[in-house]
Amino acid sequence: MTRIFVLTNHKGGVGKSTSATTIAFGITSLLRHTGATHGRVLLIDTDSQGHATLVTTGRNDFGAENSLYAVLSAERATAAQTLAQCIVPSTWDEHLHVLPASAMLEGAERELMRVAGAPYRLADPLSKIAAHYAAIVIDTRPSFSLMTEMGLIAATDAIVPVEPRYLETVGLMSVISKINDIREGWRHPHLRISGILVTKMDSRIRGHHHLLNELKTHPVLGKLLIGVIPANEAVSYAHHSHQSLFSYDPKAPASKAYAQLVSMLVRQMTKGGA
């Protein structure tokens, strides 16, 4: 089964889009490097802000006919075909494909609110094309909205990026319990919490160390820590030039930390286990 990673946290600006795009590109590059025959990766942008779309395709002009919006509005019988037609290659790598977001997704949430089966409108067509990809990565918007729910229902693995200043366990536990609700309430047994990814860690800030240590020793959350990404200005420079962090500066501290995370995810994928 293709692993479908969803990056989620209702807090804004914690590194969801940075992590989604970097992980997606990282998996593509690593699979190519290891000579995998089946090495394509799909990035799905469910956020109407379209940041992940913009940096990976150089475009932010996707609309009703050629974006995720088209998939969500399609008839059930044709939704998978619509999805396949909307996918574009990333400018970063021909093996990285993108299902773009559109500003129209903002209205789609309202339009779909009363439509039967709305939360499955991504999961359903995606399940029909997932086998074409070695991995799929979904970026979500900063809220527990219908769109985020759709992303979680479509996924197999949730990764929760969080900044050290938001590491308070109460906030984190609410994200974790939302993911558990989706698994149990929506009967989606394949969704598991892959882990918590600490982003923008500034080792000069004492409070960051304190909160990270608290997380490490927490009986539930401590076991979920899968990586710590340092705060690194290479990330914003890479964004501004619409380049992947790995291409912009593979030796930057954030690149090295993401590379470690990507190797771990690919090891898990190829083992097919935890």
Ligand X SMILES: Nc1ncnc2c1ncn2[C@@H]1O[C@H](COP(=O)(O)OP(=O)(O)OP(=O)(O)O)[C@@H](O)[C@H]1O
Residue 266 binding target from Mg ion, ligand X, none, CB below 5 to 8 Å by type: none
Site string for Mg ion, 51-90 (x = CB under 5 A): x---------------------------------------
Residue 3: beta bridge partners?
135
Closest contact distance (angstroms) between CB of 253 and ligand X is 9
Q: Residue 51 or residue 95: which is nearer to Mg ion going by CB?
A: 51
Q: Residue 161 or residue 164: which is nearer to Mg ion going by CB?
A: 161
Q: Residue 21 or residue 156: which is nearer to ligand X going by CB?
A: 21
Q: What residues make contact with ligand X under the rule CB under 6 A? A: 12-18, 47, 49, 51, 142, 199-200, 229, 231-232, 235-236, 239, 254
Query: In this chain, which stretch among 46-54, 70-78, 123-131, 170-178 interacts with Mg ion, using CB under 5 A?
Result: 46-54
At 154, the amino acid letter reads: A
Cβ proximity of 43 and 78 under 8 Å? no
Q: In angstroms, rounded to a whole number, what is the distance separating the alpha carbons of residues 173 and 238?
A: 32
Q: What is the DSSP letter of 198?
A: E
* CA torsion through residues 111, 117, 119, 125, sign: negative
Smallest Cα–Cα separation from 229: which of 55, 19, 84, 31? 19
Could you tell me how many residues make up the chain? 274
Q: Which two tokens stand for residue 138?
A: 């979904």
- The DSSP element (H or E) to which 72 belongs, if any, is helix 68-73
Residue 16 touching Mg ion (CB under 5 A): yes
Q: Residue 200 or residue 208: which is nearer to ligand X going by CB?
A: 200
Residue 11 touching Mg ion (CB under 5 A): no
**Which residues would be at the binding site for Mg ion (CB under 5 A)?**
16-17, 51
